[in-house]
Structure formats: C-alpha cells, structure tokens
Amino acid sequence: MLDIQYIRDNKELVQEKASQKGYPINLDELLNLDNELRHNIQILEDLLNQRNVLSAQFSNNRPSEDDIEKGKELKNKSAEIEKTVNDLKKKFTDTIKKVPNMPLEMVPVGLSENDNVIYKKVGEPLNYDFVPKNHWELNEANSLIDKTRAAKVAGSRFVYLKGGLVRLQFAIINWVMDKLTDEAFIAGLIKDNNLNISTKAFVPILPPGLVNTSSYMATTRLDAEEVTYKLADDEMWMNASAEHSLCNMYQDEILASQQLPIRYLGYATSYRREAGSYGKDTEGIIRLHQFDKLEMEVFSTPETGLDEHKLLVAIEEYFVSQLELPYQLLEKCTADIGKPNAKGMDIEIWFPGQNKYRETHSADYMTDFQARSLKTRFRKEDNSIDFVHNNDATVFAFSRILAALMENYQTKEGQIKVPEVLKNYLGGMEKI
C-alpha cells in the first residue's frame, strides 16, 4: 500500500496516476477517514492517560466513591472509543488498499495492453520449407501431452505431460539452477548491463504450496474471483505462483541491511482458476489450471530496486536468447502493469505454429508498495528503519516455454529437436 503521508502531500498526482492505471478512487473519503482515525486515537490516548493518572492515585490513597465512579466512566469511554478506533482502522485499511502503486515516470501512459510499447525485438522467425504446426498438432504424432485422460481424472485444462517433454522440463530446471546459483554468471550480467548492484547469486527455494488468507491478502496479489483456488474448509489458498509465498516470507520482520539483496529462485507447481478465460486457449497447454514455474523474487534497498528489476529482465532475456527463440520485449503501459506494480516488462516469444508472439515472461517492480502491506523492513547503517523494495520475474512458466520449444524446434517430419544449450542436460539427445 502507499504511505498515507505521501497521499496527503501528493493528492492530485495520486489521483491522476490511479486514473492512468484504471483505478477509480475517492481520496477525499480516504483522507477524511485518516483525519477521523487520528482524532479518535488522540481521544483514546487522552482517556488512557487519565486512567493511568487515576490508577497512580489509587495506589497511594484509598479511592473515594467519586474516584471509583470516575474510573468506571473512563473505562467505559475508553472501551467505546477503542471500538470506534478499531472500526475506523479497518475501514481506513480497506480504503487505502484500493489505491494502486504509483507508476514510475518512464512507464508509458495507456488505456489497455494494446498501448504497451515494444522496447526491442530479438531474433527473426525461421522460414520453414513447410507449413509449421502448432504444438497441439505436433502432439498428435509425438504423444507427449494427454489431455483426454487428464480430463477424466481432474477435468478440463489439466494434462499429463509425458516422456521427452518431462525430461526437457527437468533439463531446463537444472540448466537454470546451474546459472543462477553461479555468482560469476550474475557478475557477468551485471557488468554487461552497467548495473551498480551486488553480484550475490540466487538461492534455490521450494516455497509452500498453500498460503493463509491474511498473508495472501497482504501480498496484494490475491485475486479470488479470477485466479486463485481456495480450500473449502480452511482459510488457505493454493499458490498461483511461487512469488506469492516468497514475497511474504519476511512479513513483520526487520532485516539487517547486510542481508540485502536477498535473491531467491523459487520452483512451484502453481494453480489458477482461469475463470475469466472461458473459450481462450482451449487447445494445447498455454493456459492450464495447473503448471510448474520457476520464479525469481528479490528483496533489496530502495536505492537498488530499479537496477534489480533490470537484472531480472536481463536474466529472462539471456535464457530465451540461449534457447534461440525469437522474442520481443515490451514496456507495459500504466493500464497493464497491475495494481501493485510501479513498472513492468513482458517478453513475448514467437510461436510459428500460431503465427504470432505470445507472452511467456513478466518482470514486476513494486517499489515498497508490497513491503508496506507486509511490514517487511530493514535497518540501515545509521540505525533508521525503511521498507524493502520487491521485485519478481518469471524464469520459465513451463507450459508456455515447452509449447514455444515444440513449435520453434519442429521438423518437417513432425519431430521436435533439442536446443543446443540443453543437449548436455539430456545426455546428448538430439530429438524428443
């Protein structure tokens, strides 16, 4: 969430930026609530102070009937005002959570994803001497994906991945682990991109698959209607992406500045309801209820947050480039970066069987918006306390990258070649 003092000092700017993101908000209501809350907190503190003074008198002298009556009156008033304060706090919190994060100045203003800006294009789509198939057509000859039997067991938008496709996924996992846990590799990317940040490597982590309601809500990522599955008998939600149970790892904690940056490489099976995607991508494995994902999560200081974002984008580009997949890098506009984000980049890979670029990666920079809600802070060298800055980014969402590899590495005979960079991880296998 945003700092209320920032909102008070920049009311018109916050209103403008919120509108650019597509979030209608009533800042007058919020600021009136803030004033009313602070007023009642002051009243409560005065009443509690009076009670303390009266209690001190009781400890030295036998209380009179008037003193006892006054004590009861103060107790009742305190309880009444305390309830008012608690009600106002809840209403204030609910209202301020409606205010989105402020986009950075470099973010293009736009009304929808159609206004995203192509930052650059890398690689040219191959010219095939045959009509390329999409990945579900390729599956007919290779039997790597079984949706029919999965539907019997779990319903639509679930699959069995089989054989070489499974081996390909685990080859990618091992390749990514080798690279991101190597400090020399991180140092090289930082140098190549002129970044002024630590060369600390990523720590692999397997996060919980379930998140309780309060922790999930604090991430500002919980979207119950469109995305997330809830357990019927518990206040628990199924993880929709690894970062949803990584960003809240240090909630209510104060980290030492020497610990930052903290860089995690999370691997998780993710679950999404896809309630808003009826009729979209019903074939293939682009949009599933269950998929595996490698995700990066970074906790940093405010000064290094933007460079950490640039590092994550550079990592995404490195892996896609090494797979020799044509792609375009998009700077997301204000309407498309999402409520908690201050900046966002997407990678779209070319799918020859579908004759278009499709989103496969995202990188989100949230400044301190998420950390304020989670109360994740750090102690500076001068002993002052500040909020960390959060970044998260996709390494690979496997359903999408496997589909991209199938389509880009297909042969005329309908086989699927193994990318050169992965052959050592597959014992020299040439095709799957």
In this prediction, residue 53 has a pLDDT band, given cuts at 50, 70 and 90, of: confident
What's the pLDDT band for 68 if we cut at 50, 70, 90? Answer: confident
Cβ proximity of 21 and 103 under 8 Å: yes
Q: Strands 236-238 and 254-256: what pairing?
A: unpaired
Element counts in the chain: helices (H) and strands (E):
12, 15
Binned at pLDDT 50, 70 and 90, residue 69 comes out as confident
CATH superfamily entry for domain 4-96:
Serine-tRNA synthetase, tRNA binding domain (1.10.287.40)
110 pLDDT more than 90: yes
Sign for the CA dihedral angle at 285, 172, 348, 244 comes to positive
- Amino acid at the residue 376: T
Cα–Cα–Cα angle for 67, 68, 72, nearest 5°? 115
Torsional class of 355: left (φ above 0), alpha (ψ -120 to 50), beta (otherwise): left
Judge if 4-96 and 113-426 fold alike in CATH terms: no
| Gap between the Cα atoms of 26 and 18, Å rounded | 10
Q: Compute CA distances 422 → 54, 125, 173, 363, whole Å.
A: 76, 20, 10, 24
Under 8 Å between Cβ of 71 and 56: no
Share of the chain above pLDDT 90, in %: 87
Identify the DSSP state of 416.
B
**Domain regions of the chain by residue span:** 4-96, 113-426
Rounded to 10°, the helix 183-192/163-180 angle is 80
Res 281 pLDDT > 80: no
| Identity of the residue numbered 313 | V
The three-point CA angle 312-239-198 to 5° equals 25
Q: Do β-strands 356-365 and 236-238 pair in parallel, antiparallel, or remain unpaired? A: unpaired
Condensed to tens digits (0 to 9), the pLDDT of residues 151-179 reads: 999 999 999 999 999 999 999 999 999 99
Q: Which of 186, 213, 212 is nearest to 201 (CA)?
A: 186
Average pLDDT over residues 246-251: 97
Query: Is the pLDDT score of 58 beyond 80?
Result: no
Least confident of 28-42, 207-221, 231-245, 277-291: 277-291
Neighbouring CB atoms inside 10 A of 308's CB total: 26
**What is the per-residue pLDDT for 177?**
98
- Separation of alpha carbons 294 and 292, rounded Å: 7
Tell me the average pLDDT across 71-86: 90
**Mean pLDDT, residues 249-275 taken together:** 95
| CA atoms of 339 and 22, how far apart (whole Å) | 9
Instruction: Please say if the pLDDT value at position 327 is more than 90.
Output: yes
- Three-class SS state of 410: strand
Residue type, 116: N
160-174, 185-199, 248-262, 281-295: range with lowest mean pLDDT: 281-295
Strands 262-271 and 290-300: antiparallel
d(CA 11, CA 5): 10
pLDDT at 66 over 80: no
3-class state of residue 388 by DSSP: coil
With tokens 């490489």, the residue in question is 265
Residue 30 clears pLDDT 70, i.e. is over it: yes
Q: Which fold has domain 113-426?
A: BirA Bifunctional Protein; domain 2 (3.30.930)
Q: Which helix (H) or strand (E) holds 120?
A: strand 117-122
Q: Which residues contact 251 (CB under 8 A, 6 or more apart)?
A: 215, 218, 374, 375, 376
To which H or E segment does residue 92 belong?
Answer: helix 65-96
Largest CA distance in the chain: 102
pLDDT at 344 over 90: yes
The per-residue pLDDT for 278 is 67
> According to the model, what pLDDT value does residue 225 have?
63
Higher-pLDDT residue of 227 and 65 is 227
